[in-house]
Amino acid sequence: MALSLTYKAATSVPVEIEGLTPDAIRAQPLGDIERFTIFHGNEKLPLAEMFDVSGDASDGRIDMHGDLSGVHWIGAHMQTGEIRVHGNAGRHVGSEMRGGRIDVDGDASDWVGGEMRGGAIHVRGRAGHLIGAAYRGSARGMRGGVILINGDVGNEIGHTMRRGMIAVGGNAGDMTAFNMIAGSVLIFGQCGIRPGAGMRRGTVGLFGNPRTELLPSFRFACRTRPQVLPLMFRRLRAWGFEVPETLDGEQFDLFNGDLVAIGRGEVIRRHASDN
Amino acid sequence: MADSLLKIAGGTIYDPANGVSGQVADLWVSGGRIVAPPTDPEVRPSRVIDASGLVVMPGGIDMHCHIAGPKVNIARKMRPEEKRRDEVIPRTTVTHSGTMGSVPSTFATGYKYAGLGYTTAFDAAIPPLAARHAHEEFDDTPCLDKGFYLLMGNNHYVMRSIQENEPQKLDTFIAWLLSSAKGFAPKLVNPGGVEVWKTRQGGNVHGLDDLVDYFEVTPRQIIAQVAQSAGRLNLPHPVHIHCNNLGMPGNWTTTLETMKALEGHRGHLTHIQFHSYGGGEGDENTFNSKVTELAEYVNTHENITIDVGQVLFGETTSMTGDGPLGYFLSNVYGGKWFSGDTEMESGCGITPIKYKNKSLVHGLQWAIGLEWYLQVEDPWRVVMSTDHPNGGSFLAYPQIVRFLMDRTYRQDVLKTCHPRIRDRSSLADLDREYTLEEIAIITRAGPARILGLKNKGHLGVGADADITIYTPHENKETMFELPRMVFKSGNLIVEQGEMREAPMGRTLHVQPNYDNELEKDIQEWFESYYSIRYRNYPVSESYMHEPEVVPSN
């Protein structure tokens, strides 16, 4: 039986539950978990002030209920185990996580998987800006793991990412994979302006329709059907992420860039387009 | 509390300036100063600290660090990633909160210095135009008496006066600048080189006799003339020199020429570790130590003093008034880079760097720093510094003490470094170990004497009651990283790592006299070129916290 946390507070002040991860509380009795220190703005509170706590944590699973869009750092730094959010989640879901998985049934806010090292995050709804990104000033963003977002996302996703994969079922905002060092970002909806700006290595897949203009610092290489795409699509489907069947037979244009950086990155853009 | 009388009883005192080395004695403190023991046996101290079995020294003095001004602030803003990862300083009833990283926030800087038993610190590179900013930051840097050196080595008026051979104008300008900015000493940073960098792409000077564009003066002339001028002005700390060619293989000859250019006048060569390299120009494969040669010159020339600029392994942030150096380092490390150009005055370069013990170059830099401490015979002329944060944090001082007092530890660390360091430096052959008295000299008494601070660095009657009490320990790092007690102006500010009080401390500056007639020439020049008005330039007393004018020699 999983640990069940039901959010009962109604506050417009941010609530931060950093450190409340399945691995950290696994061996703790319910009473200790209820006293776990969380922040309400700059005020420290025990967890039980804002959540009804029941069940037990020994199997490494946490179920969270209610609208947690004002609750931040869910699953940050987690190493193993499972968190399921039956509703919306706030900012920094799975920030710097190294393993385990987080499922969000609703929407998540900005910084999903910020600087994550490993594990998986699957958001069924939409998500905000800077997914898998480097925190301000850092040399590297996401360094491993998988982030799947079924809906739309905001700007600068995969900012300075180094390894791992981000897949977005809906539309993405501007500056996707900005400054990317390596890794993969796949956008199945439309994409905003300047995808891949400043990318050094790595792969950006742009599969939406109509297609996105690339910066002039990307050079067309060839029209192709990359062998890797069917493999990636098969894996994504196995993870429960929907990939349109129509893509399987499509042709793609391959571009190299960003030539203002070292230009070893690739953008794979769907060839067919309505524009 | 004017008539309160504190007695620190039975401590083992190290006060090298007064010839006291490990004698057990009492100290009496009143009104923030050391006083003579009361002659009347009826007079009782209002508080007695039992220091028996403990080591008592004057408060530490860091004569070369970067703790205020625009470069420090830019470095703080440049590295949020460090601050996010690092320790947070929580607020207490007596202290403000703060952040660490290689460039701690203002308040944290003061607390951490005090926590190590340091009570005085000098920022080494302030552009005069930013002096007001530096004073305001000092106002938020507690526990320390502070001062700063003013960048002059690439100042247009300085170079023009030298070009036109007008020493009176130079004297007037230096005196006027120090008085206006409320600075402590003239600082030369890569004299002439920064100006060339500012006017020419990738420009710099490469030797003491290169000409500076438009001014037709050489670094040698700048060094000699400013040193002579400072001598005529009787400044307590005449000139603080960051030589040309910092960090470049083969730069030791430039350093030697700089020493000679002083022509017997007093001069302090700072972070000399970075200036003691042999090897072919730009060729890291031939990089080696030339400390022995340079130390021999220092040992035989009493006009020269140095501080080391010890490198320690780890990540830090380089910040310098040496613009071309900042550019060079940012290319080496490939990180973020800031470059600044301060009008007629100076430049600036900032970039994150990392020293690795497995790197031959970095390991040699570490070894060369230690060689300097061990090869200068007179401890009064060598000062402990890391050029915080350039070589490492001031928080590493206790570790350096251990390197100097414990040769086994030193050799053990050497073994973890790149093997070729043994062939390229003499560190492996140096057996010297510092005594506690010598440590007291290079961290307190020496810098006080070099800076001309008569009330600091000693425990004689009339000295400022800045006192650090250590618990002796076999491991000297343990001993020096956690003082038992620290007193600032007679007030107990730190007890076993706990802050008890956080007074702001004083601002130390000089106020030399100058010729009011010649000031008109400065005004005319100033109004023609500067972005601000002449009358708005001087820093008024209202910006300063407890200013104290340090008199000329």
Domain boundaries, chain A: 110-270
- Using pLDDT thresholds of 50, 70 and 90, give the confidence band for residue B227: very high
What ipTM does the predicted assembly reach?
A: 0.82
3-state SS class at B422: helix
A-chain residues within 8 Å CB-CB of B82?
137
pLDDT at A272 (0 to 100): 85
pLDDT at B495 (0 to 100): 97
Distance CA B218, CA B241 (A): 15
pLDDT at B553 (0 to 100): 74
Interface A–B counts its CB contacts (< 8 A) at 14
Yes or no, beta carbons of B335 and A135 under 8 Å apart: no
B-chain residues within 8 Å CB-CB of A135?
80-81, 84
Burial B344-361 (b: 16+ CB within 10 A, else e): bbbbbbbbbbebebebbb
Q: How far is A142 from chain B (nearest CA, A)?
A: 14
Q: Is B472 on the interface with A (CB under 8 A)?
A: no
pLDDT at B281 (0 to 100): 65
Q: Is B79 on the interface with A (CB under 8 A)?
A: yes
Residue with structure tokens 């060092």? A181
Task: State pLDDT tens for residues B103-127.
Answer: 999 999 999 999 999 999 999 999 9
- Using pLDDT thresholds of 50, 70 and 90, give the confidence band for residue B3: low
Of all residues in chain A, the one with the smallest CA distance to B78 is A137
CA angle B340, B345, B349 (to 5 degrees): 25
CA angle B255, B446, B453 (to 5 degrees): 110
- Using pLDDT thresholds of 50, 70 and 90, give the confidence band for residue A1: confident
What is the separation, in whole angstroms, between the first and last Cα of chain B? 33
Q: How far is CA B227 from the centre of its chain?
A: 18
The pTM is what? Answer: 0.92
pLDDT at B544 (0 to 100): 87
pLDDT for residue B282 is more than 70:
no
Yes or no, beta carbons of A137 and B78 under 8 Å apart: yes
Of all residues in chain A, the one with the smallest CA distance to B334 is A139
Residues 6+ away with beta carbon under 8 Å from B320: B71, B125, B189, B242, B246, B326, B348, B349, B350, B390
pLDDT at B1 (0 to 100): 44
- Binding-site residues on chain A for chain B (CB distance < 8 A): 135-139
Q: What is the mean pLDDT of residues B203-225?
A: 96
Round the average pLDDT of chain B to a whole number and report it: 95
Helices (H), B441-545: 446-451, 476-481, 516-529
Could you tell me the two tokens for B146? 């502070």
Which of B78, B84, B335 is opposite residue A135, by nearest beta carbon?
Answer: B84
Q: What is the mean pLDDT of residues B506-510?
A: 96
Distance CA A243, CA A248 (A): 9
Could you tell me the two tokens for A67? 């609208």
Contact assessment for residue B142 and residue B107, using Cβ atoms and an 8 Å cutoff: yes
Q: Is B78 on the interface with A (CB under 8 A)?
A: yes
> What are the DSSP calls for B208-263, one per residue?
TTPPPTTT---HHHHHHHHHHHHHHTT-SS--EEE-SSTT-TTTHHHHHHHHHHTT
Could you tell me the two tokens for B49? 């600290």
pLDDT at B264 (0 to 100): 96
Distance CA B309, CA B241 (A): 13
Could you tell me the two tokens for B550? 């340090």
Q: What is the mean pLDDT of residues B186-196?
A: 97
Burial A144-174 (b: 16+ CB within 10 A, else e): bbbbbbbbbbbbbbbbbbbbbbbbbbbbbbb
Contact assessment for residue A135 and residue A145, using Cβ atoms and an 8 Å cutoff: no
Task: State pLDDT tens for residues A157-178.
Answer: 999 999 999 999 999 999 999 9
Of all residues in chain A, the one with the smallest CA distance to B80 is A137
pLDDT at A275 (0 to 100): 61
B-chain residues within 8 Å CB-CB of A139?
81, 335
Q: Is B76 on the interface with A (CB under 8 A)?
A: no
pLDDT at B515 (0 to 100): 86
3-state SS class at A228: helix
Count of C-beta atoms within a 10 Å radius of residue A222: 9
pLDDT for residue B252 is more than 60:
yes
Domain boundaries, chain B: 60-456
Yes or no, beta carbons of B80 and A139 under 8 Å apart: no
- Using pLDDT thresholds of 50, 70 and 90, give the confidence band for residue A209: confident
Could you tell me the two tokens for B276? 């003691």
3-state SS class at B164: coil
Contact assessment for residue A83 and residue A74, using Cβ atoms and an 8 Å cutoff: yes
Q: What is the mean pLDDT of residues B7-32?
A: 97
Q: Is B84 on the interface with A (CB under 8 A)?
A: yes
Of the candidates B388, B366, B344, the one whose C-alpha atom is nearest the C-alpha of residue B525 is B344
Distance CA B231, CA A188 (A): 74
**Best residue of B84, B85, B86, B350 to probe chain A, by most A CBs closer than 10 Å:** B84
Q: Is B80 on the interface with A (CB under 8 A)?
A: yes
pLDDT for residue A133 is more than 60:
yes
The residue type of B20 is: V
Of the candidates A101, A27, A21, A99, the one whose C-alpha atom is nearest the C-alpha of residue A58 is A27
The residue type of A206 is: L
Beta-carbon-side half-sphere exposure of residue B210 (alpha carbons within 13 Å)? 17
Strand B240-242 with B185-189, pairing: parallel
Q: How far is A136 from chain B (nearest CA, A)?
A: 7
Distance CA A220, CA B273 (A): 51
Count of C-beta atoms within a 10 Å radius of residue A210: 11
In sequence order, the β-bridge partners of residue A255 are A220, A267
Contact assessment for residue B445 and residue B384, using Cβ atoms and an 8 Å cutoff: no
Task: State pLDDT tens for residues A108-120.
Answer: 999 999 999 999 9
Of all residues in chain B, the one with the smallest CA distance to A134 is B81
Beta-carbon-side half-sphere exposure of residue B217 (alpha carbons within 13 Å)? 26
Q: Return the top range by mean pLDDT from A207-216, B414-423, B459-468.
A: B459-468
Q: Is B81 on the interface with A (CB under 8 A)?
A: yes
Considering chain B, what percentage of its residues have pLDDT values greater than 90? 95
Residue with structure tokens 């203009």? A213
- Using pLDDT thresholds of 50, 70 and 90, give the confidence band for residue B470: very high
Of all residues in chain B, the one with the smallest CA distance to A135 is B81
Task: State pLDDT tens for residues B121-155.
Answer: 999 999 999 999 999 999 999 999 999 999 999 99
Task: State pLDDT tens for residues A218-247.
Answer: 999 999 999 999 999 999 999 999 999 999
Query: Has domain B60-456 been given CATH number 3.20.20.140?
Result: yes
Q: How far is B112 from chain A (nearest CA, A)?
A: 25
Q: How far is CA B24 from the centre of its chain?
A: 31
Number of H helices, E strands in chain A: 3, 17
Of all residues in chain B, the one with the smallest CA distance to A138 is B81
Contact assessment for residue B164 and residue B170, using Cβ atoms and an 8 Å cutoff: no
Residues 6+ away with beta carbon under 8 Å from A147: A94, A112, A113, A116, A120, A121, A122, A123, A131, A132, A164, A165, A166, A167
Which of B78, B81, B335 is opposite residue A135, by nearest beta carbon?
Answer: B81
Q: What is the mean pLDDT of residues A206-227?
A: 94
